[in-house]
């Protein structure tokens, strides 16, 4: 391209000023920007996070090992979990000079409980927590998004059991709860266990059930013309029917990943056997960046918007006029201070009322006590008067008794003298009588 036909868009500082197209007089060099971007991205490395949702034993771990052609882990999951929990594992992978920090999140215990009603909740919470962590980092004064380990889920591989019937209600409920939060790619697991004609019908059934239940699954983008054709054709193949295996089998003179049966061999990478290659192509080789972008631009954006609105932030005022963050903050601050003042006033009023109430109660109590005291005082005086009366009566009685006593005593003193006199008189008479007898 000749330098004089290069154009640059001159974007002016203010929106009202006009934008002019100018020709460059020679090569400037900003055409290397894409290369700079590539070089920077390669140095920085990439991260990709996969969430595998599916019941225990459906083939999640095997498929991950097969997809990345490595052995992440080979421990068998137990079917006896009390509930569902999510277990993330992060691995550093390197291909050519590209570093990939891969996180695989497993839904341990999914589908193992008798009551599966709440099985989707831990998954939703996990996705939200990762969004929240990112939002918190974004809202920090000192942000370090550049080297932040982004753990937001970029893709949810939903493993459907190869029943050949229809989706289970657990599948529909879970996918419905997740579809606004994450890119979902449904896959039919263990596709070697279902016949070709059944698989065809099963795929149609699944897609119609997803549509009739309003479940939005990830569509491979068709706006980029370099991949629009392949993506459009792959969209028609969804859900992919996959087979996973870590076993290597010799087929002809080649060693391939396959599952060997008494009646034949299922080759994982043979497109007439299953859709594994399609999945790998779409997920890793063609659309990995779109999945990352969609996560940020669609799902995270939705979470962020709802969260900020919940916190009271908005872009426009009630008259639909633009409202800056600063204004929102000021309005919020004013509202908060007003609330605080109102609450303070309410509390103060409540306190005054309480004091008044308590004062009135105390006064009432004092009056009652006073009345009681007066009553007791009167009762006491009455009692005292009665006792005084009784005392006087008793004194009188005692005086009368004493008088009587004195009289009795006087009487009893006079009585023995008279008795002595009478005895002497008697004795004299007796002796006179005796004398007269003797005479």
Ligand X SMILES: Nc1nc2c(ncn2[C@@H]2O[C@H](COP(=O)(O)OP(=O)(O)O)[C@@H](O)[C@H]2O)c(=O)[nH]1
Please give the residue ranges that form the binding site for Mg ion (CB under 5 A). Answer: 60-61, 77
Q: Is 291 left (phi over 0), alpha (psi -120 to 50) or beta?
A: alpha
Judged by CB under 6 A, the number of residues near ligand X is: 16
Q: Which is nearer to ligand X, 107 or 183 (CB)?
A: 107
* Closer residue to Mg ion, CB minimum distance, 108 or 124: 108
Nearest-CA neighbor of 125 among 89, 163, 94, 86?
86
Per CB under 6 A, 62 contacts ligand X: yes
88 binds ligand X (CB under 6 A): no
- Is 295 among the residues that bind ligand X (CB under 6 A)? no
Shortest Cβ contact with Mg ion: which residue? 61
286 near ligand X (CB under 6 A): no
DSSP codes, 237-256: TPSEE------EEEETTEEE
Q: In what order do the strands lie in the sheet with 254-261?
A: 248-251, 254-261, 264-267
> Residue 175: which residues within 8 A CB-CB, separation 6 or more?
158, 184, 186, 210, 215, 217
Helical residues (DSSP H) of 145-286, grouped into ranges: 169-178, 196-212, 228-235, 276-280
- What is the phi/psi pair of residue 232, to 5°? -60, -45
Contact region with ligand X (CB under 6 A), list: 4-12, 43-51, 60-68, 357-365: 60-68
In the complex with Mg ion, which residue's Cβ is closer, 60 or 273? 60
- CB-based contact 266:247 (threshold 8 Å): no
Here's the x/- map for ligand X, 98-137, by CB under 6 A: it reads as ----------------------------------------
**Which one of ligand X, Mg ion, none interacts with residue 62, CB within 5 to 8 A by kind?**
ligand X
Give how far the C-alpha of residue 82 lies from the chain's centroid of Cα atoms, to the nearest Å: 19
Binding residue (CB under 6 A) for ligand X from 59, 109, 111, 186: 59
C-alpha 56/C-alpha 107 separation (Å) is 8
Considering the complex, state which of residue 55 and residue 179 has its C-beta at the smaller distance from ligand X: 55
**Minimal distance in Å, beta carbon 244 to ligand X?**
4
**For ligand X, the closer CB: 45 or 164:** 164
Q: What is the pattern of x (binds ligand X, CB under 6 A) and - over residues 218-257?
A: -------------------------xx-------------
- Residue whose beta carbon is closest to ligand X: 59
Residue 231: which of ligand X, Mg ion, none does it interact with, CB under 5 to 8 A by kind?
none
- Shortest Cβ distance from residue 279 to Mg ion (Å)? 18
Q: Could you say whether residue 203 binds ligand X (CB under 6 A)?
A: no
In the complex with Mg ion, the residue whose CB is nearer, 112 or 290, is 112
Among residues 24, 46, 57, 328, the one that binds ligand X under rule CB under 6 A:
57
Q: Among ligand X, Mg ion, none, what does residue 50 contact (CB within 5–8 Å per kind)? A: none
The verdict on 267 binding ligand X (CB under 6 A) reads no
Query: Which of Mg ion, ligand X, none is residue 192 near (CB under 5 to 8 Å by kind)?
Result: ligand X
Shortest gap between Cβ of 290 and Mg ion (angstroms)? 27
Q: Distance from first CA to last CA of the chain, Å, rounded?
A: 204
Report H helices in 283-324: 288-294, 301-310
Q: What is the DSSP letter of 316?
A: B
In the chain, how many H helices and how many E strands? Answer: 10, 11
What is the distance between the alpha carbons of residues 5 and 370, in angstroms, rounded to a whole number? 108
Q: Are 63 and 100 in contact (CB under 8 A)?
A: no
- Are 222 and 187 within 8 A, CB to CB? no
The only residue of 112, 192, 275, 290 in contact with ligand X, by rule CB under 6 A: 192
Q: Which is nearer to Mg ion, 60 or 154 (CB)?
A: 60
Helix 169-178 to helix 196-212 angle (10° resolution) is 50
Does residue 193 touch ligand X according to CB under 6 A? Answer: yes
The mark string for 17-56 relative to ligand X (x by CB under 6 A, - otherwise) is -------------------------------------x-x
Q: C-alpha distances in angstroms, 239 versus 30, 157, 230, 298, 370? A: 43, 10, 15, 22, 90
**Residue 331 DSSP symbol:** H
Q: Tell me the window of 12-20, 114-122, 188-196, 313-321 that interacts with ligand X (CB under 6 A).
A: 188-196
**Residues contributing to the site for ligand X (CB under 6 A):** 54, 56-62, 76-77, 190, 192-193, 243-244, 259
């Amino acid at each position: 391209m000749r330098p004089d036909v290069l154009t640059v868009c001159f974007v002016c500082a203010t929106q009202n000023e006009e934008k002019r197209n100018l020709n460059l007089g020679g090569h400037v060099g900003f055409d290397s920007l894409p290369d700079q971007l590539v070089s920077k991205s390669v140095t920085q490395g990439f991260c990709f996070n996969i969430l595998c949702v599916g019941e225990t034993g459906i083939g999640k771990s095997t498929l991950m090992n097969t997809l990345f052609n490595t052995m992440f882990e080979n421990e068998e999951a137990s079917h006896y979990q009390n509930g569902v929990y999510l277990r993330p594992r992060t691995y550093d992978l390197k291909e050519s000079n590209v570093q990939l920090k891969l996180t695989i999140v497993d839904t341990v215990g999914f589908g193992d409980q008798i009551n599966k009603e709440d099985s989707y909740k831990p998954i939703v919470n996990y996705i939200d927590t990762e969004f929240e962590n990112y939002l918190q980092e974004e809202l920090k004064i000192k942000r370090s998004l550049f080297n932040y380990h982004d753990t937001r889920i970029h893709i949810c591989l939903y493993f459907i059991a190869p029943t050949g019937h229809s989706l289970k209600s657990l599948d529909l409920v879970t996918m419905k709860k997740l579809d606004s939060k994450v890119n979902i790619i449904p896959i039919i697991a263990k596709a070697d266990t279902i016949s070709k004609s059944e698989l065809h019908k099963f795929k149609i059934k699944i897609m119609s059930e997803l549509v009739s239940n309003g479940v939005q699954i990830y569509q491979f983008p068709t706006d980029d013309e370099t991949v629009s054709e392949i993506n459009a054709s792959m969209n028609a193949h969804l859900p992919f029917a996959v087979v996973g295996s870590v076993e290597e089998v010799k087929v002809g003179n080649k060693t391939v990943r396959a599952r060997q049966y008494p009646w034949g061999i299922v080759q994982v990478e043979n497109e007439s056997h299953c859709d594994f290659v399609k999945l790998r192509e779409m997920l890793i080789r063609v659309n990995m960046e779109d999945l990352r972008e969609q996560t940020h631009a669609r799902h995270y954006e939705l979470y962020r918007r709802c969260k900020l609105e919940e916190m009271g932030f908005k872009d426009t005022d009630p008259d639909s006029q633009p409202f800056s963050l600063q204004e929102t903050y000021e309005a919020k601050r004013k509202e908060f201070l007003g609330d605080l003042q109102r609450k303070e006033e309410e509390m103060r009023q409540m306190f005054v009322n309480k004091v008044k109430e308590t004062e009135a109660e105390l006064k009432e109590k004092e009056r009652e006590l006073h009345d009681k005291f007066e009553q007791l005082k009167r009762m006491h005086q009455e009692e005292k008067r009665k006792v005084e009366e009784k005392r006087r009566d008793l004194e009188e009685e005692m005086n009368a008794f004493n008088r009587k006593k004195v009289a009795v005593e006087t009487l009893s003193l006079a009585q023995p003298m008279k008795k002595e006199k009478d005895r002497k008189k008697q004795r004299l008479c007796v002796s006179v009588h005796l004398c007269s007898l003797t005479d």
